[in-house]
């Protein structure tokens, strides 16, 4: 039979080797999903609506362009007019177009004013909260902890400010966290399919198209089309996907799980996490390709003797423009009063002042301060560094897969900024990685809460501590709300919220 029909050999189930399982030392232990999906969706929707309302409330104020709104909303309006940013005589268009197209959707729907610039950010920030609830629920196996994760992100002053201003980084945040959520669903579904087969052939079996992984690749391509820093998450996601495939085959008893993961997973991963993101990224430049006066569009025609002349002029011009962008980003070292380094981001070392009009007084002639500061809720952000230590402990002591995922994402979204420490940087570069820091805090709270098998008293005490912490974060957010939204404060009220000299 093996000679006459060799293709059947792979279909014959191989004997699974007997292995002693070590549950505390395996990276592939995944908690089951709770069985309250309808209730979970209902509570998630309630949180999502509340988040959206808080971000929309008085979003038009102030009507001035705040910080880098000086660049992106005007460029978004130009894209509505010409299909691309206006080609000025100088070069300061240094980011891909997708984020500006999303701002343009708001301008098209609500007008070229502060509402139109900012509503897309509010939508993106709300979606990020909803997706984080679902991701945390899947990683922890707890609807309660999923809701805690979403609530903490909703109560984060930094993310709140980011969802009320027309910058690009909130779009990067929602695309990244949504992509990782899709990839985790793909991981779980592949694991379930492999386990459902029972006896698995020694060489594995075809898994076919994996829609969730393709969706992750598309979303990561969108992230890169907002800002290039999305590429670090793309690289990390590709490695994690293959690592998870290997864990699934190993769990099934396949003798050579690495080779099987490469054989069965690499071709599909090359399409989903390489080709799809690249195609998505290039597609975001459609307006640039169609425009006659796009920035740098004529470079290849003006330089016909350059390398690779057989490549179409438009692609060579786009490649050259990207080289100029790379040079700009690598060489960006101009001093800025609100710049900060990656180490300081963990402790709100240097938040960004978005707005502070001078000379305001009340009816009695006393000074009035209106201050909009992009600052993370301190009682949340001060927990980030300890949570990193706790992640390391969970990885070493428990081989916890959720901790591994978060550590990799934090390395991709925060650690990579140390590669060019001389570059001018700002705290809003933290936007895509903040949800993963929040999840790290949630893993700490998971251990505070205790396992489901713990005694009722232990769980009640743990739930009380978790509730108190979330309440403290909520109270801190409320306290800082006036300096997140530019509410009028007396000088003494304003000083009470300026906890560190670097916040002035």
The residue assigned the tokens 């011009």 is 317
Q: Of 147, 125, 126, whose CA–CA distance to 135 is shortest?
A: 147
- Distance from C-alpha of 28 to C-alpha of 23, rounded to nearest angstrom: 9
Residue 88, class by beta-carbon neighbours within 10 Å (0-12 exposed, 13-18 middle, 19+ buried)? exposed
Of 439, 429, 342, 340, residue with least CA distance to 390 = 439
Tens-digit pLDDT string for the chain (504 aa)? 343 333 333 344 444 443 333 333 344 578 888 889 899 999 999 999 999 999 999 999 999 999 989 889 999 999 999 888 886 655 578 889 999 999 999 999 999 999 999 999 999 999 999 999 999 999 999 999 999 999 999 999 999 999 999 999 999 999 999 999 999 999 999 988 888 877 788 888 888 889 999 999 999 999 999 999 999 999 999 999 999 999 888 888 888 888 988 988 889 899 999 999 999 999 999 998 888 888 888 787 888 777 777 788 888 888 888 888 888 878 777 888 888 989 999 999 999 999 988 877 776 777 888 999 999 999 999 999 999 999 999 999 989 999 999 999 999 999 999 998 888 889 999 999 999 999 999 999 999 999 888 888 999 999 999 999 999 999 999 999 999 999 999 989 999 999 999 898
Contacts of 418 (CB under 8 A, 6+ apart): 342
Cα dist from 65 to 15, 62, 113, 353, 427, whole Å? 67, 8, 9, 13, 19
Q: Write down the H helix ranges in 114-168.
A: 114-140, 143-154, 157-162
Regarding pTM above 0.75, the answer is yes
Query: How far apart are alpha carbons 175 and 153 in whole angstroms?
Result: 15
Residue 374's beta-bridge partner residues?
352
The partner residues of 56 in beta bridges, in order of sequence, read none
Place of tokens 């459902």: 196
Residue corresponding to tokens 């609506």: 49
| DSSP assignment letter at 416 | G
Count other Cβ atoms within 10 Å, centred on residue 58: 10
């Amino acid at each position: 039979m093996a000679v006459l029909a060799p293709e059947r050999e792979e279909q014959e189930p191989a004997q699974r080797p007997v292995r002693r399982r070590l549950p505390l030392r395996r990276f592939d232990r995944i908690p089951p999903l709770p069985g309250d999906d309808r209730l979970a969706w209902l509570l998630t929707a309630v949180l999502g609506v509340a988040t959206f309302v808080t971000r929309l409330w008085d979003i038009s104020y102030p009507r001035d362009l705040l910080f880098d709104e000086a660049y992106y909303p005007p460029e978004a309006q130009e894209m509505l007019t010409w299909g691309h940013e206006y080609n000025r005589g100088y070069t300061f268009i240094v980011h891909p177009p997708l984020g500006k197209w999303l701002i343009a959707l708001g301008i098209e729907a609500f007008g070229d004013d502060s509402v139109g610039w900012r509503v897309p950010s509010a939508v993106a920030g709300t979606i990020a909260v909803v997706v984080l609830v679902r991701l945390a629920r899947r990683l922890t196996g707890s609807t309660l902890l999923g809701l805690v994760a979403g609530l903490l992100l909703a109560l984060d002053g930094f993310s709140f400010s980011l969802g009320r201003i027309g910058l690009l980084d909130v779009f990067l945040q929602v695309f990244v966290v949504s992509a990782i959520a899709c990839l985790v669903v793909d991981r779980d579904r592949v694991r379930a399919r492999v386990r459902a087969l029972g006896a698995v052939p020694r060489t594995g079996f075809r898994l076919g198209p994996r829609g969730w992984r393709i969706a992750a690749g598309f979303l990561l391509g969108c992230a890169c089309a907002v800002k290039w820093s999305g590429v670090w998450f793309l690289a990390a996601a590709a490695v994690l996907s293959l690592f998870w495939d290997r864990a699934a085959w190993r769990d099934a008893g396949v003798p050579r799980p690495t080779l099987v993961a490469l054989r069965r997973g690499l071709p599909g991963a090359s399409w989903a996490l390489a080709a799809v993101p690249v195609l998505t990224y290039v597609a975001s430049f459609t307006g640039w390709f169609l425009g006659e006066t796009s920035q740098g569009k004529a470079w290849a025609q003006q330089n016909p003797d350059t390398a690779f002349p057989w490549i179409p002029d438009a692609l060579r011009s786009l490649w050259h423009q990207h080289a100029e962008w790379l040079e700009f980003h690598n060489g960006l070292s101009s001093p800025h009063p609100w710049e900060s380094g990656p180490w300081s981001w963990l402790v709100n070392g240097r938040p960004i002042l978005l707005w502070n009009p001078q000379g305001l007084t009340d009816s009695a002639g006393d000074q009035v301060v209106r201050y909009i500061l992009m600052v993370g809720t301190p009682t949340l952000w001060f927990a980030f560094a300890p949570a990193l230590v706790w992640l390391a402990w969970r990885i070493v002591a428990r081989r916890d897969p959720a901790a591994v995922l978060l550590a990799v994402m934090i390395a991709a979204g925060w650690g990579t900024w140390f590669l060019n420490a001389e570059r001018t940087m700002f705290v809003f570069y933290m936007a895509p990685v903040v949800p993963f820091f929040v999840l790290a805090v949630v893993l700490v709270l998971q251990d505070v809460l205790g396992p489901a098998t713990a005694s009722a008293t232990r769980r009640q005490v743990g739930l009380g501590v978790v509730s108190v912490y979330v309440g403290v974060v909520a109270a801190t957010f409320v306290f800082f709300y006036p300096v997140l939204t530019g509410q009028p404060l007396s000088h003494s009220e304003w000083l009470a919220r300026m906890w560190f000299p670097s916040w002035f």
